[in-house]
Amino acid sequence: MAEQPRADLISPDTHGPRSHTCGDLRADHEDAEVTLKGWVDTRRDHGGLIFIDLRDRYGLTQVVFSPQDNEAAYEAAGRLRREDVISVRGTVRPRGDEMVNPDLSTGQIEVKVQELNVLNTAETPPFLVSAHEERQMDTSEDVRLKHRYLDLRRPALQDNLVLRHDLYQTTRHYFDEKDFVEVETPVLMKSTPEGARDFLVPSRLQPGRFYALPQSPQTYKQLLMVGGMDRYFQIVKCFRDEDLRADRQPEFTQIDVEMTFATEEQVYDLTEGLMADLWADLEGTDLETPFPRMSYDDALRTYGTDKPDLRFGLELNDVSDAFADSGFRVFESIVDDGGHILAIRVPDAGDTGRAAMDRLEEHVTEEIGAAGLIYFQFPSDGSDMEQNLSTDAMPKEYGRAAADQIGAGTGDLMLVLAGQAPTVYHQAGQLRLHLGEKLNLRPDPGEGPDRFVWITDFPLVEYDDEAGRYVSMHHPFTAPKPEHLDRLEDNPEDVEARAYDLVLNGNEIGGGSIRIHNRETQEQMFDLLGIDRDEAQERFGFLLDAFRHGAPPHGGIALGLDRLVMLLAGANSLRDVIAFPKNQSGQEPMVKSPDWVDPEQLEALHLQLDLPPDVEPPAQVARRSRLAT
Ligand code: ASP
């Protein structure tokens, strides 16, 4: 039903500029004549007095209307609703002792209103927007994103954007002080391979050709090094057309960095300095540097992932030897085929009941996708170990031997997964995270200590079964370790890269490498990746050519700005730290992008639509595409 417009309430603003924001006034402003402007957050009518919490980005101030002060203003205030925009003039007075609100920075005072201007009215908002309600969990995210301008009025979101702003400032200051130059690189560029699909932009002036939006400015920043810029950084948008499972955004922001003559140590040092400044400025905490380092191999074997969460234990242990002659056919055949048996000791879980163990088994098979879970329980009363495997299938001594190896004993639970690497490591890593959550060992976002770790010594390439060829672990511009160069042709899987990732609390927050800077090695790399010489010249000729003209050694890193802000803000989703994010389907429900375009636009670009049968374009677009077929 259409709402009454209440247009008669609106009046010109006769008050001039505001004298204070809604977060400014304190007890020592008593008797000051002030002008405040903002949104009606809440209204309370107390027969003869109307209280309004007036809200802006800076806070809330209680303003009070009484008929004795201004009859017309009092009447109008009685018709105000949430989110109306008003200007008030009045006098600051202290609140009575029992009315002081210690949770509010302006909680000691209120403003007695002499004059009211209603600057605009608001329809009933589709969801409650109030400084008194930090999280609107009951409102679906799409509704909030559709009315993002309302959602953004929530202090929690505004605080996140302010934190994000602060992060830009500290970052820019940090790099500026160290002689880095912020250089913008093109948004309309040519495809670079960072492992995702490109977003493409058709060219009108060059019919049939496309720009690609940068997955990162990787090649440009390298060209800046060849161009002698020496130290570059940029806070830059990157675009990757990926399936939006988990928490990803198709456009995201990086702090992108590159240095000439860089060594790994210099990149670590520089990045740790930035983190320390960010944590000092934004969190008020001292970070301990240098950060610990862990090889990719150790991370995989101990945590089952290259982004380990070091805030809790439950490490993986290889107990293959203990079970080698156990007689249990499943284990024996896995080990014979070169596989691994991995065990996790869960302290103080030896008495976990059958139902909970059944649920855990189900999680392991259904969610994690392992073939099965074998477990051994050591009751806390010291009674005999129990296993979910008949003693005919495997005598108990083998479980005990494995438990001895990993230090599991009375009161503990030992969980065992078996399979081939790397799958079994990934599965055990997922089980570890699941246990960490179930046992409340993983602090919530924003809580608990922050644990950074550098992951180093990555393999240069891995074999992609689907593609039937090697693919880069990072990207094709990453330098192999010089001492492994001779393995490049015959044993590429044994070549380690000069690459590193920075991980925080189980999140990859950055990655980079020392780069290849000579043409021969770069060509060798393309060969290895199955990119033939012609294609390499066609796609990356500019870089190969640049390497012929005195390209200096160089290296760098890129940090995921959105994720950093999310972790610093203690937010649960990237969407909570981006002003206008895309939803899980890659759409922006407010402006409705992506959207159909006019047939004339397609025509100018020489494009015709060839849509799948289940996609129905609007009539006008449909007419055009039918014409085309
Ligand atoms: N361009 C890389 C990325 O976006 C980072 C780097 O190697 O500096 O992941």
Closest ligand 1 atom to Cα of 258:
8
Q: Residue 238 CA: which ligand 1 atom is closest?
A: 4
Ligand 1 neighbour 194 (Cβ under 6 A): yes
Is residue 193 scored above 70 in pLDDT? no
Query: In the chain, helix, strand, coil percent, each to 5?
Result: 30, 25, 45
Whether 432 and 457 map to the same domain: the answer is no
In angstroms, how far apart are the furthest CA atoms of the chain? 93
CA of 458 to the centre of ligand 1 (A): 14
511: Cβ below 6 Å to ligand 1?
Answer: yes
pLDDT over 80 (residue 347):
yes
Asked whether residue 381 carries a pLDDT value surpassing 60, the answer given is yes
For 151-163, what is each residue's pLDDT tens digit?
Answer: 999 999 999 999 9
Domain assignment present for residue 116? The answer is yes
Closest ligand 1 atom, residue 478 Cα: 7
pLDDT computed for residue 444 by the predictor: 83
How far away, in angstroms, is 251 Cα from ligand 1 center? 15
Calculate how far, in angstroms, residue 195's C-alpha sits from the geometric centre of ligand 1: 11
The two three-digit tokens of residue 367, written as one number:
């969610």
Domain boundary among 403, 438, 473: 438
User: What residues form DSSP beta bridges with 212?
Assistant: 189, 200
Residue 338: inside a domain, yes or no?
yes
Instruction: Please give the structure tokens belonging to residue 1.
Output: 């039903």
In the block, residue with structure tokens 């380990």: 308
Query: Does the beta carbon of 216 sit less than 6 angstroms from any atom of ligand 1?
Result: yes
Name residue 253's beta-bridge partners: 237
Question: Which of 180, 218, 307 to mutate to test ligand 1, by most ligand atoms within 8 A of the CB atom?
Answer: 218
Ligand 1 in reach of 510 Cβ (< 6 A): no
Q: Which of 124, 146, 180 is the last residue of a domain?
A: 124
Can you spell out the DSSP letters for 146-211? Answer: HTHHHHTTSHHHHHHHHHHHHHHHHHHHHHHHTT-EE----SSB----SSSBPPEEE-SSSTT-EE
The last residue of one of the domains, among 376, 405, 438, is: 438
Q: For 431-448, b where at least 16 C-beta lie within 10 A, e where not — what string?
A: bbbbbbeeeebbbebeee
How far apart are the CA of 3 and the centre of ligand 1, in A? Answer: 52
Index of the ligand 1 atom closest to the CA of residue 513: 7
Domain count, the chain: 4
Q: What's the pLDDT at 137?
A: 59
φ and ψ at 197, to 5 degrees?
-80, 150
**What is the pLDDT at residue 140?**
85
Cα(475) to centroid of ligand 1, in Å? 8
| Neighbour count for residue 331 (Cβ, 10 Å) | 25
In the prediction, which pLDDT does 626 show?
53
Cα dihedral across residues 536, 538, 541, 542: positive or negative: negative
Query: Does pLDDT of 288 surpass 70?
Result: yes
The closest-lying atom of ligand 1 relative to the alpha carbon of residue 256 is 8
Q: Which of 55-64, 91-100, 421-430 has the lowest mean pLDDT?
A: 91-100
d(CA 20, CA 177): 35
Q: Report how far residue 379's alpha carbon sits from residue 586's, in angstroms, rounded to the nearest whole number.
A: 50
Residues 551 and 601 in one domain: no
**pLDDT at 625 exceeding the cut of 90:** no
Which residue pairs from 429-432 have beta carbons closer than 8 angstroms and sit at least 24 positions apart in sequence? 429/300, 429/303, 429/304, 429/305, 429/308, 429/316, 430/304, 430/367, 430/368, 431/304, 431/344, 431/364, 431/368, 431/370, 431/373, 432/303, 432/304, 432/314, 432/315, 432/316, 432/344
513 lines ligand 1 (CB under 6 A): yes
Query: For residue range 96-107, what is the model confidence (pLDDT) as tens digits?
Result: 888 899 989 999
Residues 67 and 90 in one domain: yes
Statement: residue 250 has pLDDT above 70 = yes
For ligand 1, whether the C-beta of 236 sits within 6 Å is no
* Average confidence (pLDDT) over 124-140: 77
Nearest atom of ligand 1 to the alpha carbon of 499: 7
Of ligand 1's listed atoms, the one at least distance from the Cα of 254 is 4
pLDDT of residue 97: 85
Q: What is the pLDDT of residues 417-439, one digit of tens each?
A: 999 999 999 999 999 999 999 99
Which of 264, 474, 478 has most ligand 1 atoms within 8 Å of its beta carbon, as the pocket-test mutant?
Answer: 474
pLDDT of residue 244: 72
| Dist CA 567 CA 505 (whole Å) | 9
Query: Are residue 339 and residue 364 in the same domain, yes or no?
Result: yes
pLDDT in the model for residue 446:
77
556 lines ligand 1 (CB under 6 A): yes
Domain holding 357: CATH number? 3.30.1360.30
For a pLDDT cut of 70, what percent of the chain falls above it?
97
516 touches 543 (CB < 8 A): no
554-567: average pLDDT: 97
Q: How far is the CA of 62 from the centre of ligand 1 (A)?
A: 49
Nearest to 39 by CA among 64, 7, 61: 61
pTM of the model: 0.94
User: How far apart are the CA of 303 and the centre of ligand 1, in A?
Assistant: 24
Nearest to 55 by CA among 192, 155, 186, 175: 155
Higher-pLDDT residue of 264 and 626 is 264
Ligand 1 centroid–CA 512 distance in Å is 5
pLDDT digits (tens, 9 = 90+) for 211-235: 999 999 999 999 999 999 999 999 9
Cα(280) to centroid(ligand 1), Å: 26
Ligand 1 atom closest to the Cα of residue 218 is 1
Contact, 248 vs 195, CB < 8 A? no
Do 277 and 166 share a structural domain?
Answer: yes
- Whether 154 is in a domain gets the answer no
Q: Looking at ligand 1, which residue's alpha carbon is closest to its atom 4? A: 216
CATH number at residue 572: 3.30.930.10
Residues 175 and 261 in one domain: yes
Q: What is the pLDDT of residue 619?
A: 81
What is the distance in A from the centroid of ligand 1 to the CA of 15? 53
Q: Is the pLDDT of residue 517 over 60?
A: yes
Instruction: Indicate whether residue 130 lines ligand 1 (CB < 6 A).
Output: no
Would you state the pLDDT for residue 467?
A: 87
Q: How far is the CA of 91 from the centre of ligand 1 (A)?
A: 56
Strands (E), 209-338: 210-212, 231-239, 251-260, 293-295, 316-318
Residues 182 and 214 in one domain: yes
C-alpha of 383 from chain center: 47
Asked if 66 and 191 sit in the same domain, the reply is no
Q: What is the pLDDT of residue 522?
A: 95
Per-residue b/e over 156-191, b at no fewer than 16 CB within 10 Å? ebeebbebbeebeebbeebbeeeebeebebeeebeb
Q: Which of 232-246, 405-419, 473-487, 498-512 has the lowest mean pLDDT?
A: 232-246
The predicted structure's pLDDT at residue 518: 94
What value does the mean pLDDT take over residues 186-204? 88
Is residue 70 in some structural domain? yes
- What gap in Å lies between CA 399 and CA 319, rounded to an integer? 10
Per-residue pLDDT of 539-554, as tens digits, reads 999 999 999 999 999 9
Could you tell me if 572 and 462 lie in one domain? Answer: yes
- Indicate whether residue 192 lines ligand 1 (CB < 6 A): no
Domain assignment present for 131: no
Long-range pairs, 595-598, Cβ under 8 A, ≥24: 596/621, 597/621
Considering the domain boundaries, does residue 591 fall inside one?
no
Q: What pLDDT score does 199 carry? A: 96
pLDDT digits (tens, 9 = 90+) for 4-50: 778 899 999 999 999 999 999 999 999 999 999 999 999 999 989 99
Measured at the alpha carbon of residue 507, what is the angle toward residues 575 and 178, in degrees to the nearest 5?
90
Residue 556 CA: which ligand 1 atom is closest? 8
Q: Residue whose CA is closest, atom 6 of ligand 1? A: 512
Q: What is the mean pLDDT of residues 516-526?
A: 95
What does the pLDDT read at residue 172? Answer: 98
**Inside any domain, residue 2:** no
Same domain, 34 and 119: yes
Could you list the beta-strand ranges (E) of 405-553. 413-419, 452-456, 461-464, 469-472, 499-504, 507-514
Terminal-residue alpha carbon distance, the chain: 44
Ligand 1 centroid to Cα of residue 248, in Å, is 16
Of ligand 1's atoms, which has the minimum distance to the CA of residue 515? Answer: 7
| Mean pLDDT value across the chain | 94
Q: Given ligand 1 and candidates 222, 223, 475, 516, which is best to mutate, with the most ligand atoms within 8 Å of its CB?
A: 475
Query: Residue 135 is inside which H or E element, if any?
Result: none
- Please check whether residue 587 lies inside any domain of the structure: no
Residue 206 alpha carbon to ligand 1 centre in Å: 30
Q: Whose CA is nearest to atom 1 of ligand 1?
A: 218
Please tell me the distance between residue 505's alpha carbon and the centre of ligand 1 in angstroms.
Answer: 20
Residues 455 and 364 in one domain: no
Tell me, using a 6 A CB cutoff, whether residue 558 lines ligand 1. yes
Give the whole-angstrom CA distance, residue 520 versus residue 548.
Answer: 10
How far apart are alpha carbons 400 and 376 in whole angstroms? 9
Where b means 16+ CB within 10 Å and e means fewer, 7-23 reads: eebeeeeebeebbbbbb
Greater confidence (365 vs 97) lies with 365
Whole-number Å distance between alpha carbons of 27 and 110: 9
Range of the structural domain that residue 404 is part of: 312-438
Least confident interval from 2-6, 54-58, 446-450: 2-6
Domain CATH number, residue 31: 2.40.50.140
Show the beta-strand stretches assigned E in 15-127: 33-45, 50-56, 59-65, 85-94, 109-120
Nearest CA to ligand 1 atom 7: 512
Q: Phi and psi dihedrals of 280, rounded to 5? A: -65, -45
Give the pLDDT score at 242: 86
Residues belonging to the chain: 629
426 & 460 share domain: no
Q: From the CB of 512, is ligand 1 less than 6 Å away?
A: yes
* Beta-sheet pairing, 374-377 with 386-387: antiparallel
192: number of Cβ within 10 Å: 20
